[in-house]
């Protein structure tokens, strides 16, 4: 079957029109006008991902983070970063990027986070277009910041989370929770405007954390890599569509870790 048929079904679930302005989404490497046998879902395209795709004879990768996020100046094989793209081209592996569209779409990544953390009665955090928005805000059963942080750590299988709090506030009760996958620090004012007690997002900068606390907002930073949930969930969706549509293809979920951070 054609790769375009898979992406057509994916876009029916997650329209690329939901992507935020200036985002890198859509087909980035290769062609969809080709027959495929194996589709893989990944969070990132790194050298380990490419090696895995080659080993599994993958024809199409659906990925959250674009392998080309900044303009390339050249395509030189001696450069290990550009070699990643060259190896994909050499092995005829197409790459389709689904970045902020899967964050925004109803029933997408931020809603999956809410399901895992029992965040109820949700609304979007930051409106991106009429009727759609990035991040979510809702309510949890009243608990301390520390209790919620430990739940985040457990649910996502993390070795640590960072708390944005002055020490004594770890036992402060929270109920209204905002969440945004990836690097959502710039949206903390939206969390404040919607009366969040705590904001869960990754890659919070030092001075941004100080500003949050000055304005009365606590935060939990579980890191960017919790977005790896994308892999499991999209692979499940593809398996479901495979049955519904009668696709004769193999669906693979990437099993290599692309998380560059460890805590000791």
What's the whole-number mean pLDDT along residues 14-29?
Answer: 96
The predicted-structure confidence for 32-77, as pLDDT tens digits, reads as follows 999 999 999 999 999 999 999 999 999 999 999 999 988 888 999 9
Please provide the DSSP assignment of 226-251 as one string.
Answer: GGGHHHHHHHHHHHHHHHHHT---EE
Residues 112, 96, single domain; the answer is: no
Burial of 75 (0-12, 13-18, 19+ CB in 10 A): exposed
CATH classification of the domain holding 40: 3.40.1390.30
Buried b / exposed e along 27-46 (16+ C-beta atoms within 10 A): bbbbebeeebebbbbbbbbb
Q: Does the structure show a pLDDT above 90 at 133?
A: yes
Strand partners, 177: 138, 198
Cα angle for residues 31, 36, 41 (degrees, 5° grid): 85
Cβ(178)–Cβ(200) below 8 Å = yes
* Total number of domains constituting the chain: 2
Residue 116, domain extent:
106-224
Q: Which residues pair with 136 in a beta bridge?
A: 124, 179
pLDDT in tens, 191-249: 999 999 999 999 999 999 999 999 999 999 999 999 999 999 999 999 999 999 999 99
Residue 47 assigned to a binding site: no
- Residue 224 labeled ligand binder: yes
Q: Answer whether residue 249 is part of any domain.
A: no
Does 96 lie in the same domain as 180? Answer: no
Is 211 annotated in some ligand binding site? no
79 shares a domain with 146: no
- Is 78 marked as binding a ligand? no
| pLDDT at residue 168 in the model | 76
- Residues 86 and 151 occupy one common structural domain: no
Contact of 43 with 228, CB cutoff 8 Å: yes
């Amino acid at each position: 079957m054609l790769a375009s048929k898979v992406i057509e079904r994916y876009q029916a679930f997650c329209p690329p029109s939901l992507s935020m302005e200036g985002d890198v989404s859509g087909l980035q490497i290769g062609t969809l006008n080709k027959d495929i046998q194996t589709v893989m879902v990944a969070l990132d395209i790194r050298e380990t991902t490419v090696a895995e795709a080659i080993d599994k004879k993958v024809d199409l990768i659906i990925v959250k983070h674009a392998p080309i996020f900044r303009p390339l100046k050249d395509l030189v094989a001696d450069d290990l970063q550009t070699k990643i793209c060259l190896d994909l081209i050499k092995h005829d592996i197409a790459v389709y990027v689904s970045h902020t569209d899967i964050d925004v779409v109803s029933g997408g990544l931020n809603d999956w986070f809410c399901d895992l953390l029992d965040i109820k009665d949700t609304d979007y955090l930051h409106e991106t277009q009429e009727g759609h928005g990035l991040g979510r805000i809702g309510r949890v059963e009243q608990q301390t910041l520390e209790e919620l942080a430990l739940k985040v750590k457990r649910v996502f299988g993390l070795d640590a989370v960072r708390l944005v709090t002055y020490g004594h506030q770890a036992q402060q009760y929270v109920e209204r929770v905002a969440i945004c996958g990836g690097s959502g620090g710039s949206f903390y004012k939206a969390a404040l405007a919607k009366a969040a007690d705590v904001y869960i997002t990754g890659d919070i900068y030092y001075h941004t954390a100080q500003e949050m606390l000055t304005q009365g907002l606590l935060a939990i930073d579980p890191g960017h890599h919790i977005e790896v949930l994308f892999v499991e969930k999209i692979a499940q969706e593809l398996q479901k569509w495979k049955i519904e549509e009668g696709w004769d293809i193999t669906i693979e979920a990437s099993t290599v870790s692309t998380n560059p951070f460890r805590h000791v």
